[in-house]
């Protein structure tokens, strides 16, 4: 069984703020990295919060190679295809497969953005609707341990679990790998 961890970087936290980067890493059941995906997404700077762009390491020069969101949708759907391992059944009774996805705060933030991005492009999102969320897992993990955590932010959880964090946090691909590391730590 594979899981595709994913993350968006955005031009702010409100729904109307643009997606600016999407990254994903597929892992197997032993946490081995199988494949990576990372794309910068074209957006209008005026639609973003300047502080969010600063936090997310936005550089206009780097984003010159960014792709239209519809192109990112098509490329991400193709990336997911080999990792579609969750069997579903259509309304007509035909079996089909979708990818299992996960991320940090993905159930309430990244997952809805991903669904909206695919819907806006008029494309089927080949993922399970049930997003595995390391934030939710951490809440339960600390409850079960009877411990308190000062913050459930990704970087704070990394510190707690001894996962090194450098100054590239808030890059989507870096954050995906950090999410995988804390998921692995909580599974030990």
Model confidence at 167, pLDDT cuts 50, 70, 90, reads: confident
| pTM flag (> 0.75) | yes
Our CA angle for 6, 179, 74, nearest 5°, is 5
Model confidence at 170, pLDDT cuts 50, 70, 90, reads: confident
Residues in CB range of 127: below 8 A, 6 or more apart: 4, 80, 98, 99, 100, 101, 114
3-187: CATH superfamily = Ribonuclease H-like superfamily/Ribonuclease H (3.30.420.10)
pLDDT tens, 38-50? 999 999 999 999 9
């Amino acid at each position: 069984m594979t899981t595709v961890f994913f993350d968006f970087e955005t031009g702010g936290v409100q729904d109307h703020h643009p997606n600016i980067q999407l990254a994903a890493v597929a892992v197997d059941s032993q946490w081995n990295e199988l494949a990576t995906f990372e794309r910068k997404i074209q957006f209008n700077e005026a639609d973003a919060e300047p502080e969010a762009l600063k936090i997310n390491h936005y550089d206009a020069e780097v984003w010159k190679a960014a792709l239209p969101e519809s192109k990112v949708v098509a490329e991400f759907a193709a990336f997911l295809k080999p990792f579609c391992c969750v069997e579903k059944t259509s309304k007509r009774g035909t079996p089909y497969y979708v990818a299992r996805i996960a991320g940090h705060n993905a159930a309430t933030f990244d997952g809805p953005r991903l669904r909206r991005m695919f819907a806006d492009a008029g494309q089927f999102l080949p993922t399970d609707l049930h997003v595995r969320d390391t934030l939710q897992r951490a809440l339960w993990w600390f409850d079960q341990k009877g411990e308190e955590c000062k913050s459930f932010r990704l970087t704070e959880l990394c510190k707690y679990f001894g996962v090194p964090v450098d100054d590239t946090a808030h890059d989507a691909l870096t954050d995906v790998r950090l999410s995988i590391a804390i998921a692995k730590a909580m599974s030990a």
